[in-house]
Structure 1
Amino acid sequence: MASLVGILLMVAVTVIVGAMLSVMVLGIGEQLDAAGEPRVFEDATIELGAEYRSWNGGGGANNPDVDIINLVYQQGPIFESDQIGSILIKWTGDNGYGGQLRFVNPSRFTDSTDQQYHSGDVGTVCTGEIQAGGVLTFRMVHNEGQEGGDTDPADTIPGTNEQFGVRYVESGWNGIVANGEPFFSTENRYPIEYSGDRPIEPGDSVEIWFLGNEDEIVLAKSSDVASQYTGTPTERDSAPTGC
């Protein structure tokens, strides 16, 4: 009798869990449908070390420290950046190590929002839009090889006893442009959110998620495998996003 009760309880739990999953999936589907016409990004390229910062403490032609992602907006309505709450970039290597980087929509900042690791504020914030056929370009700065500055890998993170280590950092070189025009940009350093084991490495599987204003609805996504840039890296000044 006890075994029969146990089996019945297991069946009941399975049915309840199945019903919950169905509701969750249905809810997400409804939210995605409500978002309108699908937005399709294709032909992703993730090139590591394609550029380097021009200041002396940054990288150089032999040690480039700016990684680039390009995405072609293949199909969909005009995509305004203010429809996006944040863009999440996640990467994982074969060994399980990886990390993630979040570009929060700069409209969530004000011109007096404090920079994360530097004195001063983010300054003017700029957003934009992209149409089908356009290209989004992400610039992401890490501090590998950096000597000096407020995000030197050997320096301590403010308010903690932890060293920065090699990581993506708040920088005036960070930002996202659509065909060269601001999409997610700030006048001064962009306070991106990084967590994980390390920056992206060649061979990592990378996913890019466009999240709605509440960071819950997935508006669009794309993926690719990261590769090391093989050309001559481009030197960039501190305002590549034109905000």
Structure 2
Amino acid sequence: MKTYFYSSPQEGCKTNIFIIKNDKILKYREFGGFSYVNYINKNGHVIDGWVRNKNIIPDNEKYNGLDYIDFSLMLGKEKTRLLGKTTKDMDNWINNNKISVSDPDNHGFYKGFESWNIDFSGVYITISQTNKVMEKRLGYNDTYVSGITLVDRQYKTIRGISVGDSWNKVISKYGRNSKADTENKCNYFQYFDMRLTFCLDTFNNVQSILFEDYPIGP
């Protein structure tokens, strides 16, 4: 059975691009009986578009060893999902938790995105202006949380990895599907076009942990 992509959430906007049964997609939002999703084709390219809700079902199977929840993190005993959220959502979370953060600085461009950084207690958050791909996924043209870097061992990934843990422990939790960023002595796990990266020190222990969401336009 083929499930076709639509350029807009309307019956008259059907394209010739389709997925088939058991293909894995990542869902972002719903509108009028459609969901905006993305899919990685056999050439490794990310395809975005609308599909009819009735043709998709939830699936707990991991993609490349990761799941959507792996891009949340543990701040104390709280599971927190900030990556990909609007800056307004982030500000609400900061205010609700009474966290003191730095003023935005380091304004510049990173991976083609206009970006700023804020930080608090060993957590660095990158805020970026949405591009056309991100606008369609999130449904707004504004700034969003595009990156989070942990440099303090008090914070953990959902699977319990923190700064100072060995690379062998990372492998025991995440498997061996990582790719090497040799220039920065980091290893990353890819989930659609999001990345979970572990950068290592000279003893092969985790020095920093990065969560990134920088979608590339078609």
Which category describes the TM-score, using the shorter chain as reference length? under 0.3
User: Which of structures 1 and 2 has the bigger CA Rg?
Assistant: 1
| TM-score between both structures, scaled by the size of structure 1 | 0.24
TM-score with structure 2 setting the length: 0.26
